[in-house]
Structure 1
């Protein structure tokens, strides 16, 4: 006990020392696991337990060391001034625009407010006259309370909002009157979690809603409370403990539910995903209250939505890996009857789930479909028979989304590129005109001196990998470059505007984004080529992109940084352990690094369909081969690295970053620094407040500028 006390005291003293030059010492524990007869060492198992006071003290000492290093880097104050100037510029932007009950709803972002807030207005021509319905900044001045999502009632008089705190994404639903902006009726707890997500759809009479219900205390063991999501119905004005069960007792433990109501008839559509791997089942509740399953996991029907008439449109990948659209006739029949409307094309039909902007929207006489073009995306239009019609005007090399039906087959949608902020357009179906609305954003900085090019690298097996390159006009030779990647869960990396990127570009730093396998940019085959036992392809793709940028004279290994987060954090870990000489530094956010223990974390089960499980030998062997934590080699010089994590992250357990940090620091104590930055009041990052995002950007930029040898210049 005395020895352990002295060890802990030495960490605290070292962390507070003004002469700190090396990271705090980290003890090892002799832990060995056996998988399929193969013994695997895990020397930092003890860092998994956040309830252990020793682990918290270790984390505090790492934060102190990280602050010592970061605060001592050159030009931090000047960098903070510039980043703050850009990110807190008082320019308004809108997202998640809805048109319900004759009025518009939108999430409004207005720096320097910490969090976006919910507003309503009557016309696309006058959003400035909006009324605030819910402002989390008024609830919590620290910026740690946020909206997960919102859903207006069919008449627009009420709105249900999922509200969570501290980055937890554990959301309770409250109902607000849209006339008075007052909270009315009762709170419904635990509709949303950071593991399974959550959803809600109002009944046509506006008196209740269908919602995703998670187990409550006492209903299941503690480890299961964020699983076993089911569908319930809540009648306003009643105790939610008495809510009516609708569907889901036979759903898998890792079910994720999305629900939609056809207002004219009252029919209900329930889309269920089996974890995060992209397999779905679909169920419909008829007007008599009976539920019918019209697809099952493995059927390759991946998305469904109601048409105004009450029939169902669906996206299927059955004999069409890039997707085709069918109309379902009588879904109550034992054998599904379908009519093909839009056949598979060269480009991929985008799917959406869990409050993503809808990618398939049907109006009275039109079908709007979002297509993925290998990174960029676009909206295409068809009549009800699947005949192509004139599509809206859209920006080049851009991404689209947020399709919201208005009246007369019109829609509103957003469009942005790497150098154009979010623009909202009104597409008038009758005339074919595309008009920019007043919801459109302005950039706080000028991107006219940045050009975007699209190149292709050749991966190890010959696959062509797109790279989108943002380069300042002033740069015409090899120089500092940041390469970003993700490659997983069939997620498309589309052109995305970031004003904060200007703080890199104006210093002569090139920014590149690679579209890797594992994403969905070229359909399901592209996704499957980068998941489960094929995951190594993703890392090979990223390496090929980096080598291309070096070989083509965009950068050098001494001027290359790589950056990613979450599944992209795994990409960072695998790339640096497989090719430590490739890059100068690494920035990794909320990443996964111990692939053999990830499935034991609260959200880990949801990841099994994407990564696999150690219970299957072939999947274990694949994960063991690339697992970053298990492939760190003693004595290797690794690049300077900073790991960001949030203590309340519900999606990737922060222990992943702790263990990887300790392992790297131990393997090469004389290498460039390995830093761990843990934020106490944040989670996976999506709902992080503005001030925290600014400080993360300051630390990232200072780190990059220093290790890439960029002399900061006042713009």
Structure 2
């Protein structure tokens, strides 16, 4: 499925490869202004940089090359860059492996393993949870493509655990073709390649049938089936039978779906039933369909029913998570024999925490609950009777949730100060035991204090803010501080260990995470409070968090850096245009900055249900009011800003960064730099090779250190013991 996650240091872009040869300019090239005007609902809007939306225009490429050359000249000469490079390389190349995406079917447990110096994660068979020497490689994308630019998007095991379907894409495009691999031999099955299953607009998904002879999958338009403008939309569901040409795959579902449908597929353990959860773009509306033994599809829920997810139980029922009249979620039990909502019963009513996922086992339900950033795992029996909490780390994130046997689970758990590890949870004795699938920490953060507080937003809303600082840090207003946030698409920023954050803290910095409206921290009302015409609340929330950091003397504006990516990049654009005086440095990665033109792009159409459309008068008014490129004012002293973009980005067109940089460079009255780091070979950040991640972080950290007046001190590092050989 399409993952709308907040950008982190793990989702980054490749180094600059645009043609920037020759002597770099002394200052960035000014962008030409061309008179273009569009009238929306009686409001005339000038758009002098609209010509920069064309990626194929030689003038656009020439301007981009000039910007890249200037950026390289500026960044490459920054003091302390090489010591920073050494430290960042050391941290991101830490050889202790990390494991993700575990899934078990038919007694076969697979997972994705990332172990530097490998450029990409590999798909492995987990031979033992307690002995990593028994694992074996199943699919290594760096063998499939030695350039290191191909990545595994996702995988899906057959019910007997003997075959696995794997989506792989290249160069950050997220355009994934599915191949089928034999688990025993670790070889791709011949002539089994299904094209265009995954994409950066509607994501992708797949569900095997009971016998493992074929699967339902999401299919984008192929060839000339639709004009070019429609080839990243109109996703449908087809069925592929192994051993037959994909051209003969049969249509299953989707001709009546919205243009911006995004479908998730999931089958029951026995393969007899399959759910298709169909999202109406990114705004959080879902239809639910069920395919049963009779071979037909039945619609179970419509948008108005607010069923946001469904999981199969082992008791002849499915368990649905609904937000109808329950912003924080309630759980319904739906008998598969009579799959209509009037036959569903409430098992778990709405509670104080926000339910984000439900995992049914033989005799209980595990409820993954959001607590304003951190999460917990609560248990009830199949009648809803409370069974307590799984004993996880304090102020931590819980995930994974792979069923083991009758009622046991595999759970991944980590915090801001401890790397995520996989644990085995025993239902019989309520015990959580760490497995061997655990990464060691490249930086010891045991002396880091995690402060949970709240800022008060403009309208009085309390906004969670987590602050990390070394114990004993003085609140004298002089600490360099890094603040990040996201605020959208029902996505919450959860606690997570970052070695680069550890490095920042080593250097005397403070790190803060804002849990803003628009996310899923407190249910659907919290999400609605930061979407569509309420989007300005997100920016007010973020400003309130920044003000708390300065008012309570953690830092001061000239020592405050902010960072965000994607929707968080939009947040950065709004933050720096609405309150330029509040920040010393801004890192805006792959962001959206022209809110009036974004819906003209393929993925921008999916964003309409989250952001709104210029076609609606009230939504246009809200969009225009905060659209960053339109809020830039001539003669304003803007802070230092580093913008990043990727030419292959399927989610945010890089024209946003070009237009924003052009507008800001023309407007700013400050000598501080407005830089563009435009990449010709990458996308939104997914699938970035390790070496490329290192290059970007060297640029980002050397930029922030310099703009905040910091000097990297190698002797401030605190070594920990090397990881055990793997």
Same fold (TM over 0.5): yes
Q: How many residues align structurally?
A: 695
1:225 aligns to 2:231 (yes or no): yes
Q: 2:250 aligns with which of 225, 236, 244?
A: 244
In 2, the alpha carbon distance for the partners of 1:551 and 1:666 equals 32
In 1, the alpha carbon distance for the partners of 2:136 and 2:535 equals 48
Paired residues of 1:107 and 1:117 also in contact (CA < 8 A): yes
Partner of 2:436, secondary structure, is coil
RMSD: 1.5
Paired residues of 1:403 and 1:412 also in contact (CA < 8 A): yes
The equivalent of 1:254 in structure 2 is 260
TM-score normalized by the length of structure 1 = 0.95
TM-score normalized by the length of structure 2 = 0.94
The equivalent of 2:473 in structure 1 is 475
The equivalent of 2:93 in structure 1 is 88
Paired residues of 1:262 and 1:310 also in contact (CA < 8 A): no
The equivalent of 1:114 in structure 2 is 119
Give the deviation of 1:142 after TM superposition: 3.2
Q: 1:152 aligns with which of 147, 152, 157?
A: 157
In 1, the alpha carbon distance for the partners of 2:613 and 2:30 equals 32
- Per mean C-alpha deviation after superposition, the further-off stretch among 499-508 and 527-536 is 499-508
In 1, the alpha carbon distance for the partners of 2:472 and 2:23 equals 43
The equivalent of 1:435 in structure 2 is 433
Matching of residues 126-275 of structure 1 within 5 Å: 126-185=131-190, 186-264=192-270, 266-275=272-281
Give the deviation of 1:408 after TM superposition: 2.4
1:541 aligns to 2:547 (yes or no): no
The equivalent of 2:667 in structure 1 is 667
The equivalent of 2:617 in structure 1 is 617
Paired residues of 2:334 and 2:340 also in contact (CA < 8 A): no
Paired residues of 2:209 and 2:271 also in contact (CA < 8 A): no
Give the deviation of 1:17 after TM superposition: 3.0
The equivalent of 1:559 in structure 2 is 559
Matching of residues 336-355 of structure 1 within 5 Å: 336-350=342-356
Give the deviation of 1:449 after TM superposition: 2.3
The equivalent of 1:281 in structure 2 is 287
In 1, the alpha carbon distance for the partners of 2:300 and 2:459 equals 39
Paired residues of 1:360 and 1:370 also in contact (CA < 8 A): yes
Give the deviation of 1:661 after TM superposition: 0.5
Give the direction of change, closer, same or farther, for the CA distance of 1:202–1:335 in structure 2 (3 Å limit). closer
In 2, the alpha carbon distance for the partners of 1:614 and 1:660 equals 19
In 1, the alpha carbon distance for the partners of 2:470 and 2:697 equals 20
Paired residues of 1:603 and 1:652 also in contact (CA < 8 A): yes
In 2, the alpha carbon distance for the partners of 1:114 and 1:13 equals 24
Give the deviation of 1:303 after TM superposition: 1.0
Give the direction of change, closer, same or farther, for the CA distance of 1:248–1:467 in structure 2 (3 Å limit). same
The equivalent of 1:448 in structure 2 is 446
Gaps of 5+ in 1: 1-11, 351-358
Q: Which has the higher contact order (CA 8 A, sep 6+)?
A: 2
1:366 aligns to 2:364 (yes or no): yes
Give the deviation of 1:328 after TM superposition: 1.5
The equivalent of 1:697 in structure 2 is 697
Q: 1:61 aligns with which of 44, 61, 66?
A: 66
In 1, the alpha carbon distance for the partners of 2:564 and 2:603 equals 19
Paired residues of 2:637 and 2:668 also in contact (CA < 8 A): yes
Give the deviation of 1:554 after TM superposition: 0.3
Paired residues of 1:120 and 1:131 also in contact (CA < 8 A): yes
Paired residues of 2:127 and 2:136 also in contact (CA < 8 A): no
1:605 aligns to 2:611 (yes or no): no
In 1, the alpha carbon distance for the partners of 2:323 and 2:106 equals 35
Give the deviation of 1:291 after TM superposition: 1.2
Give the direction of change, closer, same or farther, for the CA distance of 1:681–1:128 in structure 2 (3 Å limit). farther
Give the deviation of 1:173 after TM superposition: 0.1
Give the deviation of 1:180 after TM superposition: 1.2
Spell out, residue by residue over 1:4-62, the C-alpha distance to the aligned partner (whole angstroms, 9 max, x if none).
xxxxxxxx9998435x3321121111111110111001111111000112211211111
Give the deviation of 1:162 after TM superposition: 0.2
Spell out, residue by residue over 1:645-684, the C-alpha distance to the aligned partner (whole angstroms, 9 max, x if none).
1111100001100100000001126431100001222211
Q: 2:55 aligns with which of 43, 50, 54?
A: 50
Paired residues of 1:294 and 1:332 also in contact (CA < 8 A): no
1:412 aligns to 2:410 (yes or no): yes
